[in-house]
A and B are shown apart, each in its own frame.
Chain A
Amino acid sequence: MGRTSKDKRDVYYRLAKENGWRARSAFKLLQLDEEFQLFKGVTRAVDLCAAPGSWSQVLSQKIGGQGSGQVVAVDLQAMAPLPGVTQIQGDITQLSTAKEIIQHFEGCPADLVVCDGAPDVTGLHDVDEYMQAQLLLAALNIATHVLKPGGCFVAKIFRGRDVTLLYSQLRIFFSSVLCAKPKSSRNSSIEAFAVCQGYDPPEGFKPDLSKPLLDHSYDPDFNQLDGPTRIIVPFVTCGDLSAYDSDRSYPLDLQDGSEYKYTPPTQPPIAPPYQEACVLKKTGRLAKEIRPQDCPISRADALSQPLAAPQRHTQLAPEVWKWGSEPISTPAQCASICPQSCGLGAEILFPASQ
């Protein structure tokens, strides 16, 4: 695998590098905008969970061009500075962060709040979906503080099992909720984007960051309901049909005839959690297993003899489960299943078939 492999396998990765975006996700926001005209009339935008900053780049380019546009990027992690973007390093669950955002807009609420944050996925899907839902709800919670009525909120969701709960939660605050998947988002990924337009909090709603918004709980049979009680959120794919396909592998010389040149990544990650571990690994300072055979070599006669024979196990076939029948694992039967196994642990070899 050469360094061009990724460029061939993922055209958006490559285009992002060539166009100076910090991540390929920039195209997702651009394609969402194509479909929903998100940036129309927007002058104040907030990018939550902004790092590495590709969405902030898009926002500053699209809104910053409209004269008085202001973009605030919030993230817990450090992010390399971006021109035209005000950065706040803070926790989106804290009220102080919300206040700081408003302060930057000189007391005016934001027109658009976007959140492309996702936890580092663990691979256990229920945990990942839960954490993503919590992140979205935290983003929604802070958005209720900073968003103007009629404003727009775009956030990444994982279309998992409990996604209907999230939709119902979002429907409380927005007049229109759509689920969109841009073409630059890979088919194999379960991510999609909730595009919520027309912020309209319920009568008497008071934003409160001290309490987390919990996901709605199911009526036991909520998910099974159909008909008017169940909210069906429209699913929209966006991105022109002629746009590049994120799952397709493209040859390096694209149609337009320009010659391919390798571009290094725009912005490498800043201080990832694994940084120290990587440095240690590179310098060979990770802890290593102490193996007796690597220890200072002992003379043969110094070796304690006889060595203890390791314990052995047999694996027996699963027990037949019969109601009311006698247990079969009497010692005699065990012996018949595995004649060597009784008593003499040392004789028995590695998981034997019965």
Chain B
Amino acid sequence: MYRSHAARSNKTTRPRGAGLTSTGWAGGSEARRSWPPAARAPRASREGAGEDGPSAGPANRERDRVRRRVAIGPPPPGSLLPVAKGSVCNAACWRARPVLARVRRLSRLCGSRSDRRTNMDALGDYVWPRATSELILLPVTGLECVGDRLLAGEGPDVLVYSLDFAGHLRMMKRVQSLLGHYLIHGFRVRPEPSGDTDSEAMVAVFGSKGLRVVKIGWGESRFRELWRSGLWNMSDWIWDVRWLEGNVALALGHNSVVLYDPVIGCLLQEVPCTDRCTLSSACLIGDTWKELTIVAGAVSNQLLVWYPAAALTTNKPVAPDRRVSGHVGVIFSMSYLQSKGLLATASEDRSVRLWKVGDLRVPGGRVQNIGHCFGHSARVWQVKLLENYLISAGEDCVCLVWSHEGEILQAFRGHQGRGIRAIAAHERQAWVITGGDDSGIRLWHLVGRGNSGLGVSALGFKSRSRSGTLKAVTLAGSWRLLAVTDTGTLYLYDFEVKCWEQLLEDKHFQSYCLLEAAPGPEGFGLCAMASGEGRIKVVPINTPAAAVDRVLFPGKVHSLSWALRGYEELLLLASGPGGVVACLEISAAPSGKAIFVQERCRYLLPPSKQRWHTCSAFLPPGDFLVCGDRRGSVLLFPSRPGPLKELGAGGKAGAPGTGDGSDGGKSDVAGWGPVSTLHSLHGKQGVTSVTCHGGYVYTTGRDGAYYQLLVRGGQLQPVLRQKSCRGMNWVAGLRMVPDGSMVILGFHANEFVVWSPRSHEKLHIVNCGGGHRSWAFSDTEAAMAFAYLKDGDVMLYRALGGCTRPHVILREGLHGREITCVKRVGAITLGPEFEVPSFMQPDFLEPGSEGPGLIDIVVTCSEDTTVCVLALPTATGSAHALTAVCNHISSVRAVAVWDVGTPGGAQDPRPGLTARVVSAGGRAEMHCFSIMVAPDPSTPSGLACHVMHLSSHRLDEYWDRQRNRHRMVKVDPETRYMSLAVCELDRPGLGPLVAAACSDGAVRLFCLAGLWAASAAPWLKTFHHKAGCPQGALPLRTRPPASGGESWGCVYYVCIWESLLLFPRIDPGCSLLASREAACVQCSHGRQPAFWDLTTCWTRLPCPGASPGAWASLPAGHPLPHCPGPQLWCQQPGHPAHT
């Protein structure tokens, strides 16, 4: 894998960094790239001890020479880096403040490190190389459309996007560090006399106290920075900037206005207001200094309007012309629309006010509040007035489009985390662009009033000619609808023809009738009906006279479902009494005029109260059927339990209850049992759908979750459970959309919702009244349709363009909240076929960073309850979130990675990475999963990440099982895990030792044994400082607290290390740690570190079901006794920590 790269890098035409030798790719990726120790797995600390000291030995020096240094930069310019916690810095945790993953690289590393060190004495004034950031992900705090380009300010960097009319959206360039250590808060484009900003534009970029003017151009359809001024520092915060011909006017933090020449950086005039209050926002109006007007939002919640040009001399304060009050909170943003004389203000009081101000440049005008818009559920950060709309966005992550009359026309939801920080609009294209705190940028379409191409229509079933009331509805493809009435009459409605047509009438299907259309784009033109007396009717829609009847059961048919394999095999499954599922094979005559229905076999469901199946699908390639049942179980049946198998021994695979007479003693009704069962996977409310896609089986259920399953060796295996959006407790289905992502269908209270987990957006909402009524959904790439029964009529919701919506994610957001921990997994080198084009200027690239993507894989976790696997390609300076695991119910505070390998083992040259990850956080919850990152050319990053959930553990799980718990007070603390450390043990079949620092002052030790069988992690040992000397463990060095009592606080950090020298082997009989002579846990309680020797505790470890010390006497190679972990806690509710 390296060879192919080296060949390529020789051929590359890109310029190399000056003065650097191309040392090629000696050594493994680990040796070549070192991550800052802060982001390393603890295990790496062993080899990384000499990381920052002088390298020991020539071999290391050589390695250093070829190694590319990646390091966290020096303490922050711009307060962006970790904030030290107390006196003990949590080294494994980036206290990254907003959404920040800042990777810094020492650029221009001249010569080797060892050379530098030897020269240090000679060069007393040696200038150390400065670190530059390679990638920075911050809240997007500035957005501006310049012609058909979009400028986005992210930290001090500017991102340039092209918003092409042909529908192409492209990131063009990242201009790094334009504003030094200031964060960009806005852009102001100089109005050109010709009004043409398409080819080039002068832009003032400002933020905090910094201002810079850049001239940018788009000659030859590519971005060029033509000129930039110096970075001018102001004496105070800049709230707004306005171009006044060649100069700019600045509204400063304490209510003053400055006229500034941005080209030479010269202050021309400064005019303060008589009221020098602190401002929270300001808006400058006017195109010349004479008519310049400032509207200032003071911290006293008032608006002050005053005219800087009224000052007769410089520095003479000007009295405010008008004071406007109304808001009861600080004003965060305002926008003035000159053509209509309107001013909009957004405030802390969660409202937007619209003021009729007329021409503000005329003193003394009347100000009238014409709109007070409450719609946000949190503070409103931004407001923008357009000719016909008012756009506001706030902390609730919603961007609202209002009419000037104060109605909400559209709501754009999808950003994550702490809100939307910036908005921009492209009026000609009717686009709104929002930038979030999650560092995502999205583009939305303004559609105006009631013209979104969506709508619900009643199909007008009720008529004198059609008797009976509707009982069930189904969609055959996306343009035909079938409905059945309580008289057993089947009707067809064609969306194109728009009229009802009676297909057939059958008295057998009176009062109880199930109706299901066959799947497939046009439903194969088939539908099936089932009656209360065990009768099934399969109807070809075009020739209803050719319908075929079968009587399957003596009793009611509980459910019907179809299973389709390509265009080859079509099955109809019908559940009868006693959990018997009849499997019918449907085939058509070549003429298409007749159909044949043949019973293939019968399956038997596991016993339960409501014993019928709910959904079915073929498992590719087609040997098995996956079914879900009403009890929430997922079952795997052989699709052809052929006669050969039947004759063989044990052919009637596990058919318990075959002869129990539940089916009236008919022996031929006996069915095939499932070959694999996941009992009650979706809880008591049942499974709602099964879908097979991309090698996985996806199931959804009414527990509000969807599962990813894998069939391995004929057994179903749960891989990952994902929750749908909050409040959607009835997940009804799942669809793959053409861009490779999936959408979730479900019911949220009484609404039908199509939700995209990728964009966190409700794509479609239909107020249908809930999922209990008869409904049907169908989607194609061209259109989606949702039909339901309401008021005795069929309602139909149609949207062109399928499930997806035209909104665009220009850039994916990362975590919405603080990132609490980052761990590096490893690096993947992709071949040239996977190369992702780069937009970085390669003129300063070092050897090794050009060429095919060397991609770092890191795991991050965040307060937003997700664990994210990130790919950081070195070449492109971008980050791709490969997957987000959202199993945690509370914030995730720490992750640990171990067992990093390649998918195919050491010999396999295929690129890829596997690792196991354990994450822990609030509510004392711990999850363990394995990840596999493998190349996938279909994704933007060229990589796909597969996640398999292995186990989870919660300290207070017992509490959830308590009855009447709402009446009791839970006395034990709400423990949070603060930090994790992992130590791999040299015993096959035994997982690692995990130490967790807990907020209740304890360190808990877990052995993830038996993990691979997906059992829960057994809890091993708690070290609790309160008890003084913890049972079984010897505190090696602890400082006693100053006074007695409750002295030990939260444990912030824990690490395990092994030392062969410090601690002699204490117990030679300790088989578990025999090869690791001693292990230590260090945990720091804010200021005091404590050390524990694990070997001593290990020998005295209480073992469930065995006498204490039993493990120590186990012979080598003996498997670990099975530890049923969570039960430990069940037996000891209340004070687990004190035991």
Interface residues of A (CB under 8 A from B): 2, 4-5, 8-9, 76, 91, 93, 119-120, 122-126, 129-131, 134-135, 138, 159-161, 187-188, 190, 210-212, 214, 217-218, 220, 223, 237, 240-242, 244-245, 247-255, 260, 262, 271, 273-277, 280-281, 285-295, 297-303, 307-323, 327, 329, 334, 338, 341-343, 345, 348-354
Instruction: Decide: B253 and A5 in contact? CB cutoff 8 A.
Output: no
Instruction: Decide: B374 and A280 in contact? CB cutoff 8 A.
Output: yes
| 18 intermolecular pairs with C-beta atoms under 8 Å apart | A8-B973, A122-B332, A129-B79, A241-B1041, A242-B1043, A249-B975, A292-B451, A292-B456, A297-B795, A312-B806, A315-B169, A316-B168, A316-B169, A316-B170, A321-B838, A322-B842, A341-B166, A343-B166
Kindly state whether residue B478 has any CB partner on chain A within 8 Å.
Answer: no
Residues of B within 8 A of A352 (CB): 738-739
Residues of A within 8 A of B347 (CB): 273
Kindly state whether residue B556 has any CB partner on chain A within 8 Å.
Answer: no
**Which of B350, B495, B876 interacts with A277 by CB under 8 Å?**
B350
Stretch from B401-409, B541-549, B724-732 forming part of the interface with A = B401-409
**Which 3 interchain pairs have the tightest Cβ spacing?**
A245-B1049, A273-B329, A277-B350
A327 to B164, CA, bound (A): 15
Instruction: Decide: A292 and B1046 in contact? CB cutoff 8 A.
Output: no
Instruction: Decide: A294 and B767 in contact? CB cutoff 8 A.
Output: yes
Residues of A within 8 A of B1043 (CB): 240-242
A62 to B376, CA, bound (A): 43
Stretch from B230-238, B678-686, B979-987 forming part of the interface with A = B230-238
Instruction: Decide: B374 and A286 in contact? CB cutoff 8 A.
Output: yes
Kindly state whether residue B1086 has any CB partner on chain A within 8 Å.
Answer: yes
Across the interface, name the chain B residue whose C-beta is closest to A277: B350
CB distance from B86 to the nearest CB of A (A): 5
Query: With A93-B276, A212-B254, A319-B172 known to touch, is A307 a contact of B767 (CB < 8 Å)?
Result: no
Query: With A93-B276, A353-B940 known to touch, is A327 a contact of B221 (CB < 8 Å)?
Result: yes
Kindly state whether residue B182 has any CB partner on chain A within 8 Å.
Answer: yes
**Which of A271, A293, A342 interacts with B454 by CB under 8 Å?**
A293
CB distance from B357 to the nearest CB of A (A): 22
Instruction: Decide: A313 and B804 in contact? CB cutoff 8 A.
Output: no
A298 to B402, CA, bound (A): 24
Instruction: Decide: A273 and B1086 in contact? CB cutoff 8 A.
Output: no
CB distance from B501 to the nearest CB of A (A): 15
Kindly state whether residue B14 has any CB partner on chain A within 8 Å.
Answer: yes
Stretch from B442-450, B697-705, B706-714 forming part of the interface with A = B442-450
Kindly state whether residue B810 has any CB partner on chain A within 8 Å.
Answer: yes
Query: With A214-B236, A321-B840, A351-B809 known to touch, is A134 a contact of B253 (CB < 8 Å)?
Result: yes
B901-932 to A contact mask, C-beta < 8 Å, 1/0? 00000000000000000000000000000000
Query: With A130-B208, A292-B450, A297-B458 known to touch, is A212 a contact of B278 (CB < 8 Å)?
Result: yes
Residues of B within 8 A of A138 (CB): 278
Residues of A within 8 A of B181 (CB): 161
**Which of B14, B801, B1086 interacts with A309 by CB under 8 Å?**
B801
Query: With A123-B437, A126-B78, A316-B169 known to touch, is A293 a contact of B233 (CB < 8 Å)?
Result: no
Residues of A within 8 A of B79 (CB): 125-126, 129, 160-161
Instruction: Decide: A240 and B740 in contact? CB cutoff 8 A.
Output: no
**Which of B139, B166, B1041 interacts with A345 by CB under 8 Å?**
B166
Kindly state whether residue B976 has any CB partner on chain A within 8 Å.
Answer: yes
Instruction: Decide: A287 and B407 in contact? CB cutoff 8 A.
Output: yes
**Which of B373, B457, B970 interacts with A2 by CB under 8 Å?**
B970
Q: Which of B438-487 contact A (CB under 8 A)?
A: 443, 445, 449-460
A23 to B208, CA, bound (A): 32
Across the interface, name the chain A residue whose C-beta is closest to B978: A247
Interface residues of B (CB under 8 A from A): 14-15, 76-79, 83, 85-87, 95, 97-98, 139, 141, 166-173, 181-183, 207-208, 220-222, 233, 235-237, 253-254, 276-278, 280, 299-300, 328-330, 332, 347-351, 373-377, 379, 381, 395, 400, 402, 406-411, 418-419, 421, 437, 443, 445, 449-460, 495, 498, 737-740, 765-767, 781, 795-798, 800-802, 804-806, 808-810, 836-843, 876, 878, 938-940, 966, 969-976, 999-1001, 1041-1050, 1052, 1085-1087, 1135, 1137
Instruction: Decide: A274 and B349 in contact? CB cutoff 8 A.
Output: yes
Residues of A within 8 A of B139 (CB): 123-124
**Which of B299, B804, B973, B1086 interacts with A250 by CB under 8 Å?**
B973
Instruction: Decide: A319 and B278 in contact? CB cutoff 8 A.
Output: no
**Which of A130, A188, A350 interacts with B253 by CB under 8 Å?**
A130
A223 to B233, CA, bound (A): 15
Instruction: Decide: A217 and B233 in contact? CB cutoff 8 A.
Output: yes
Across the interface, name the chain A residue whose C-beta is closest to B841: A321
Query: With A123-B419, A130-B253, A303-B457 known to touch, is A290 a contact of B1044 (CB < 8 Å)?
Result: no
Instruction: Decide: A287 and B408 in contact? CB cutoff 8 A.
Output: yes
**Which of A240, A274, A290, A314 interacts with B409 by CB under 8 Å?**
A290
Name which of B141, B767, B972 has the most chain A CB atoms within 10 A of its CB: B972
A312 to B808, CA, bound (A): 9
Instruction: Decide: B1086 and A124 in contact? CB cutoff 8 A.
Output: no
Instruction: Decide: B1000 and A93 in contact? CB cutoff 8 A.
Output: no
Instruction: Decide: B740 and A353 in contact? CB cutoff 8 A.
Output: yes
CB distance from B216 to the nearest CB of A (A): 14
Instruction: Decide: B171 and A319 in contact? CB cutoff 8 A.
Output: yes
A272 to B476, CA, bound (A): 55
Instruction: Decide: A187 and B300 in contact? CB cutoff 8 A.
Output: no
Query: With A93-B277, A240-B1042 known to touch, is A277 a contact of B377 (CB < 8 Å)?
Result: yes
Residues of A within 8 A of B1001 (CB): 245, 248
Instruction: Decide: A242 and B450 in contact? CB cutoff 8 A.
Output: no
Residues of B within 8 A of A135 (CB): 278
A298 to B797, CA, bound (A): 11
Instruction: Decide: A314 and B167 in contact? CB cutoff 8 A.
Output: yes
Instruction: Decide: A237 and B86 in contact? CB cutoff 8 A.
Output: yes
Instruction: Decide: A310 and B167 in contact? CB cutoff 8 A.
Output: no
Across the interface, name the chain A residue whose C-beta is closest to B1051: A248
Query: With A293-B767, A297-B457 known to touch, is A313 a contact of B806 (CB < 8 Å)?
Result: yes
Residues of B within 8 A of A298 (CB): 455-458
Instruction: Decide: B449 and A187 in contact? CB cutoff 8 A.
Output: no
CB distance from A326 to the nearest CB of B (A): 8
Residues of B within 8 A of A285 (CB): 374
Residues of B within 8 A of A310 (CB): 445, 453, 800-801, 805-806
